[in-house]
Amino acid sequence: MSESPTATRLGVTVTVGPLGDVRGNIATLLGQSLHELLTMFYPPAVGKKANVAVTELIQNVIQNVLDADSELGLDLRVDQDALIVRVRNKATTAQYEAVHARIDALAASVAPKDLFTATLRSRRADRLKGGLGLMRLVAENRFRLAVSYEQEHMTMQATFPLRGMP
């Protein structure tokens, strides 16, 4: 292993389809597997960040499958500058617009942790489940989020800067 493990570049692409055939918790399985792989080359914190992003983004896809015959694509890239996780899946424009609005609200928030706490309390009072994954990525894990939509497919991107990490 080199003296500077963050100099390593690593990329992984996984495609799963049809989504209707998924059995078990694929989000957790992929998140944990990539965590294990990344800790061979990077500090454990990088593997943990990847695990959180992969698990949250894929779980969102699995919970909102539009077409059981469609697939999801996972693309993870790490170099000395950043950890980037992209998840692509079939989605409606309404789904895209809802996600885009959430990301805009998070980006506009001066205090994402406060927004997360207030949302958590509100959802608990209303007995609502889910809907906190993107907020967790920003508020608790300091990811920058982006979303795009092209030809019936939404791509979520979570970026974590690695510069300055031990």
- For the stretch 115-133, pLDDT in tens is 556 556 565 554 444 456 7
Q: What is the reported pLDDT for 128? A: 40
Q: What is the reported pLDDT for 141? A: 83
What residues contact 103, with CB distance under 8 A and at least 6 apart?
Answer: 134, 145, 146, 147
Q: What is the reported pLDDT for 51? A: 97
Q: What is the reported pLDDT for 166? A: 58
Residue the block writes with tokens 């593997």: 47
Q: What is the reported pLDDT for 120? A: 60
Residue type, 49: K
Q: What is the reported pLDDT for 105? A: 82
Which residues in the chain come in under a pLDDT of 50? 1-5, 126-130
Q: What is the reported pLDDT for 164? A: 67
Q: What is the reported pLDDT for 106? A: 80
Task: Compute φ and ψ for 8, nearest 5 degrees.
Answer: -70, 140
Q: What is the reported pLDDT for 140? A: 82
Q: Model's pTM, two decimal places?
A: 0.85
Q: What is the reported pLDDT for 161? A: 95
